[in-house]
Structure 1
Amino acid sequence: MATIRERNKELIIKAASQLFANRGFAATKTIDIAQLAGVPKPNVYYYFKNKENLYRSVLESIVEPLLQSSEPLHENSDPTVAMKDYIRAKIRISKEHPYASKVFASEIMHGAPRLPEDIKAQLLEQAQRSTAQIQSWIDQELMAPVDPHHLLFTIWAATQTYADFDWQIATVTGKSKLNDADYEIAAELIERLVIKGCEIKASL
C-alpha cells in the first residue's frame, strides 16, 4: 500500500506532467501544479525543493518505462515475438503516460537543454543495445538488411505519435479520446508493417 508521501508525490508528478505538457516549463507555476494535484503549495517544495527537480522527476517518470520497453528485444530469442512485444510496450507508454511523453518529446525537440546527463547516457546506451540486437538478427538472416537506427526511429515515431500528437489523431478520427480497441488496432498495424516490411522471420 502506498504511503501518504508516495501518493502525494505521484499526484504532484501527474499534475506537473499535464501542466508542463500543455504550457511548457517556463509558463508553468508551482501554485498551479499544487492546485491541480489537490495539495498545499508547500508540499511541492517539501517533496521536490524546486520546479527544476520536479521537472526532472517528470522526465524520470517517462524515462523509466522507455528504458524498460526495450527489454523484449534482449529477452526473446525469437525476433518476431521480441519485436511485437517491443512495439506493444511502446504503444502502452503512449496510452499510460501521455502527458509525460509530451514533456519528453518537447524536451528533445528543444535540444534536450534540461535533460540530465545521466539520463542522456542511459537512453544512448539503450539505443546502442537495441540497434546491436537488430543488427545481430540481420547478420543471422532473420530479417532484411535494413538500417537498425532508422528502423528504431520509425517505430518510435509510429508509437509515440499516439501521445505526442493525440489532438491531431482525435480530430481526424472524430473521437475525444482513444479507447483500448484503438490502441490494439494501432499495435497490430505497426506490428504488421514492421514484421512484414522488414521480412522478420521466427528463429528456429
Structure 2
Amino acid sequence: MTTALLVIDMQNGFVHPEGSIPLAGRGLPNMDKVIAANAEAISVARSRGVPVIYTRHCYRSDFLDMPALVSGPLPADPPPLVRGSWDADVVDELAPEPGDVIVDKNRFDAFLYTDLEVVLRAKGIENLVVTGVVTSVCVESTVRSGQQRDFTMFIASDATSAPAEQHQPALDAMAAIFGTVGRVVDMLDLAMSERPESKALLAG
C-alpha cells in the first residue's frame, strides 16, 4: 500500500464547541459536515487497508515548545492543547483505533520536528490524502512541505475547514502547484489508482 490518509488536528480544542481555540470567536464553518466527511474517509480507508495517520497539535504543560510568535492571546483557563488533555485529543467521532498512527506536533507543518516522514518512508507511502483543520494554516503548511519531500498530495475539499474567507483561497493555492483537490472519497480513489493519469493531473 503506497497511500495513506493524513488527518490533521481534528482535535477537541479546534473543532468541539467547548474547545479552547475559538479562532477569533468565529469557530470553523460546517464542522458537522467536515467531521462526517472525515469519518467516512477514515471508514473507507480502513476498509481498504489504507493506513490512517493522525496529527495532534499540542504542547508541553509548561509551553516551552510553543513558537515564540503566536497570533493573538491564548486562553488561560484551562490552558489550550496541553499534551494528554481532553482539549488535545482527537474528537470522539474520529477516535483512533489500534493500528492507527498518531503524530504529535507543535508547529503548523506536521513534518517539522516530528517523525512523520520517517513513519511514511517506513510504510512505503508515496501518496497522501490530507484532511483536517485549519485549511489555510496546518493543512496548507503540511501539504506544501509534503510536496517538497516528493510525496504526491491529495487535499480533501469537503473534509477540511477554515474561516470562510480563507478556505477556498487556500484550496486554490494548493491546487495550483502542490497537489490535487477534490472530494475526499474521490481523492482516496485517485491516490490508490495506479493509472498514469493520476500523476498527470498534477502536471496540469
Q: Choose 1 or 2 for highest CA Rg.
A: 1
More strand by share: 2
Q: Same fold (TM over 0.5)?
A: no
Give me the TM-score of the superposition, normalised by structure 1. Answer: 0.30
More helix by share: 1
